[in-house]
């Protein structure tokens, strides 16, 4: 058993699998850092960075398989086991991407947490009441999936003397 393990470790060293894995991880980390900078600079969607991270994570086993089969000098032909492994990895990776895209499309978009409570001195005139839910008058249609529930607090705004409203913002239930 110990002999097999020593032989396996020697093969890993000879085929430079660990070196290729470390080089790939370093390159992927640098790419993700650059992508994070560009994403925040140009206000690109966060999903772009999520898909890049997922793709780079799924690429690591592919790089390790290629390093294992092509790490020896002169061994450049694609063998059947390598082809089967790479095909399986690409199919599994594609399935994970597909599944992740399905989950992302069906998940409601949230900003921060799903519900936030803040206390503010918001004049009553800014709110339009519709039953228990209130919405901010003139709010953008992109916020139509959110509801704001208000209630008068016992306190008053120190500067203006107006009643203080407690506003709870949360995603609307799908109807």
pLDDT in tens, 106-148: 766 554 444 444 444 455 555 555 544 455 545 555 555 555 5
pLDDT, one tens digit per residue, over 5-26 is: 778 888 888 888 999 999 999 9
Residue in the block written with tokens 């203006």: 160
What's the pTM value of the predicted model, to 2 decimals?
A: 0.55
Q: Per-domain residue ranges for the chain?
A: 2-106, 116-171
Picking from 64, 48, 55, 45, the residue whose alpha carbon sits closest to that of residue 96 is 55
The runs of H, that is alpha helices, within 44-155 are 46-70, 80-106
| Conformation bin of residue 161: beta by default, left when phi > 0, alpha when psi is -120 to 50 | left
Q: Which two tokens stand for residue 73?
A: 């000098």
């Amino acid at each position: 058993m110990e002999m097999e393990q020593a032989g396996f470790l020697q093969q890993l060293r000879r085929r430079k699998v660990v070196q290729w894995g470390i080089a790939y991880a370093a390159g992927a980390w640098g790419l993700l850092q650059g992508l994070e900078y560009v994403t925040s600079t140009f206000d690109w969607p966060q999903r772009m960075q999520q898909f890049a991270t997922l793709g780079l994570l799924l690429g690591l086993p592919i790089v390790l398989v290629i390093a294992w089969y092509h790490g020896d000098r002169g061994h450049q032909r694609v063998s059947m086991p390598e082809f089967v492994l790479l095909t399986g990895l690409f199919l599994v990776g594609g399935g994970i991407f597909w599944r992740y895209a399905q989950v992302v499309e069906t998940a409601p978009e949230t900003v921060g947490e799903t519900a936030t409570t803040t206390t503010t001195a918001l004049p009553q005139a800014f709110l339009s009441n519709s039953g228990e839910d209130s919405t901010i008058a003139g709010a953008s249609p992109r916020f139509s999936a959110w509801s704001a529930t208000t209630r008068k607090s016992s306190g008053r705004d120190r500067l203006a003397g107006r009643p203080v409203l407690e506003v709870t913002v949360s995603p609307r239930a799908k109807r």
